[in-house]
Amino acid sequence: MHRPLTEARPAPDDMATAELALSVMRAARRRLGRSLAIRQVDAGSCNGCELEIHALNNAFYDLERFGLRFVASPRHADVLLVTGPVTRNMRQALERTYQATPDPKWVVAVGQCAADGGIFAGSYAVTGGVGAVVPVDLHISGCPPTPLQLLRGLLGLLEAGN
Amino acid sequence: MSALLDIIPQSAQVEVHRPWPRHIVTAEGWTHVAQQIAAGRATLLDLWAAGDDAPAVHMALIDEASGDIAVVSLPCPDGRFPSVGALHPAAIRFERAIQSLHGFQSTGAPDPRPWIDLGFWDVQHPLGAREAAPAERSAYTFLPVEGESLHQIPVGPVHAGIIEPGHFRFTASGETVVRLEERLGYVHKGIESLMSDVPIAQAAKLAARTSGDSTVAYGIAFAHAVEAARSIDAPPRARYLRALMAELERLANHFGDIGAVCNDASFALMHAHCGVLRELALRVADGCFGHRLMMDRVVPGGVSADLDASGASLIREMLSHVRRRFPRLIELYDNTASLQDRTAATGILHTELARQFGAPGFIGRASGRNFDARKTPGYAPYVDLDFTVPVLTAGDVNARIWIRIREVEQSIALIEQILDRLPDGPIMRALDAGTARGEGLGLAESFRGEVLAWVRLDGQRVARCRLRDPSWLQWPLLEAVIEGNIVADFPLCNKSFNCSYSGHDL
């Protein structure tokens, strides 16, 4: 009666793949197989990015079919998915989360704020982007990025190193 | 105005403040009003400060029976004001924030500890007379807990799920929580500072990013405030389109919440089905207005995106799908005993506490508080639309789910009325090039409760803006609600509240 809701996988984002090629080594695929464990860290977002990251788990996007899944602890993670302009109040928590994540690890900065502080840049209360605090391997732009943009970026991360 | 005027002492009124009056009172008058609020003769909506050329503290209050609203202001050139929190507990966190952000002292305050400022900034009192922060961070003292066999569980700021950061300090006796203390401020971005002396359009973008899940409601509240300050109304079609967006936003969030609460009781099936409905609502929003969350679509003067015939049919298609699907989900929720076992009688907010705090949104309405800004004070186009405000009195997680379920049904009916009656005409009224100063207060009912926006315009610029998320008056109640429940039920209680961290932290 009904077709499945889950939609065909999108093509990996070309820009994302290009950016990744610089920072992700071929060993990633061999070490990790087709699986990435993601720990999401809100470092000061307005929660718009979180809503769209959440949507990745719904039946339409079904993130887990790509071997990508969200985990509860940085100790279990390969990837930190960081949103927000990194408030000064979250800086230490982000650094500690990064330190708690075992190598090899990648940091994906999600949204305009995470890239450069976005509309909150220049405030006494923000550092001005994820790159100001921890090394970033990939930026996914948007305010907030759509689930499809997020999926393209993450697939790029998975496929880099082929 | 009679009821509110009765409790506000004879005082000078600010001429440029609209649409409700603002009174300048003395310290005695300020305390008198606080006493009246504490006695339940008015409800505190907000308490904030302005640290610019005219240092003052302001209280916004409402008479819930009549819908009358007033702002009471106390100039405090010496940086001191009599504590409202000493008389009325709902004011305590507002005063702690004022002390941390503006450096104003609330005399007689019951809790002098900082709030929002976690000791990581270079400056102290960033919204007042700034001074360099001390080199050493001082330790924060949580409230003492005494008794045998108690243990503490610190949680956060980084939580286990895809949620915003905050710190929860639980004290438990075995499995039972005897005290929860929240510590918030981790996502403080300095929005009030960024909204000082900026063009109106820039301030609107910041307002739209105060709490992303309520971006439409923030847009409306901010637009109401600016339009009040300018004494203009957005065109009728724009008012209808704003309400359409607001109800789509409410639908999407309520679907998400209903599923997420059930998911925290390990009932993933509801979560999966509700996630589909939420996604459909967001796709329709994208198809109609070009953005899934409809960010920046509500602007002062009107809306920035119109609805065409194909958009309207997308919405009707989605509503008819929801009308088929949602009743089956309600039945599933209602007939699953293992789920009811988790939600019924869990996390009870007593009606008296909800009344005292003026608990906004579904939290108040699940605990007997019949309040919705769309009705009281009411605003266009809702005054012309037919809908009811569901109210329950059980105050538990189950009641908070049922309020959302009933509100979904009301939102569907509202959207259908809006589509049927959508007036033709322009969607934008240009803000004139006025240079005068004006002040405006705006309200809008977000899915979570009423959002307040207060602006002081200086010509084409926002001199000062205050935004009050409903979460300010909900977060403290979560501490009361969890008491006596088991630790494992905290996620359920928390999700049934779904307070905004970003909206609170600013």
* pLDDT attached to residue A121: 96
CB B234 within 8 A of CB B227: yes
Element housing B177 (H / E): strand B176-183
**Is residue A5 within 8 angstroms of chain B, CB to CB?**
yes
Q: Are A124 and B193 a contacting pair at CB < 8 A? A: yes
Q: pLDDT exceeding 90 applies to what percent of chain A?
A: 64
Chain A residues in contact with B212 by the CB 8 A cut-off are: 45-51, 144
Half-sphere exposure of B194 (CA within 13 A, CB side): 25
* pLDDT attached to residue A27: 44
Whether residue A20 has pLDDT greater than 70: no
Count of A-B CB contacts under 8 Å = 134
Return the residue of B nearest to A5 by Cα. B276
Separation in Å, CA of B209 to nearest CA in chain A:
6
The minimal CB distance from B276 to the residues A59, A92, A122 is found for: A59
Half-sphere exposure of B346 (CA within 13 A, CB side): 26
Which ranges of chain B have pLDDT less than 70?
1-3, 5
Q: Are A54 and B256 a contacting pair at CB < 8 A? A: yes
Half-sphere exposure of B390 (CA within 13 A, CB side): 19
- For residue B324, give every residue at least 6 positions away whose Cβ sits within 8 Å of its Cβ, in sequence order, or none: none
Over residues A49-60, the pLDDT tens digits come to: 999 999 999 999
Over residues A94-124, the pLDDT tens digits come to: 999 999 999 989 999 999 999 999 999 999 9
* pLDDT attached to residue B157: 95
Q: Are B212 and A5 a contacting pair at CB < 8 A? A: no
* pLDDT attached to residue B432: 78
pTM of the model: 0.95
The residue count for chain A: 162
Chain A residues in contact with B158 by the CB 8 A cut-off are: 41, 74, 93, 97
Mean per-residue pLDDT of chain A: 86
Backbone angles phi, psi at A95, to 5 degrees: -60, -45
Q: Are A46 and B163 a contacting pair at CB < 8 A? A: no
Q: Are B278 and A84 a contacting pair at CB < 8 A? A: no
E strand map for chain A:
36-42, 68-70, 79-83, 106-110, 138-140
Q: Are B212 and A57 a contacting pair at CB < 8 A? A: no
The minimal CB distance from A58 to the residues B190, B211, B279 is found for: B279
Chain A residues in contact with B162 by the CB 8 A cut-off are: 40, 42, 50, 53-54, 70
Strand order in the sheet with B167-173: B150-155, B167-173, B176-183
Over residues B182-209, the pLDDT tens digits come to: 999 999 999 999 999 999 999 999 999 9
Q: Which residue has the tokens 């298609």?
A: B317
The minimal CB distance from A70 to the residues B162, B186, B272 is found for: B162
Distances in Å between the Cα of B451 and the Cα atoms of A37, B18, B188, B295, B474 are 37, 17, 18, 16, 12
Which of A 130-149 lie inside 8 A of B, CB atoms?
A: 143-144, 146
Chain A residues in contact with B120 by the CB 8 A cut-off are: 88-89, 91-92
The minimal CB distance from B189 to the residues A70, A73, A87 is found for: A87
Q: Are B185 and A123 a contacting pair at CB < 8 A? A: no
Two tokens, residue B488:
């494992």
* pLDDT attached to residue B377: 95
Backbone angles phi, psi at B182, to 5 degrees: -90, 145
Over residues B65-114, the pLDDT tens digits come to: 999 999 999 999 999 999 999 999 999 999 999 999 999 999 999 999 99
* pLDDT attached to residue B6: 80
**Is residue A73 within 8 angstroms of chain B, CB to CB?**
yes
Whether residue A31 has pLDDT greater than 70: no
* pLDDT attached to residue B401: 98
Two tokens, residue B418:
């809006």
Chain A residues in contact with B256 by the CB 8 A cut-off are: 51, 54
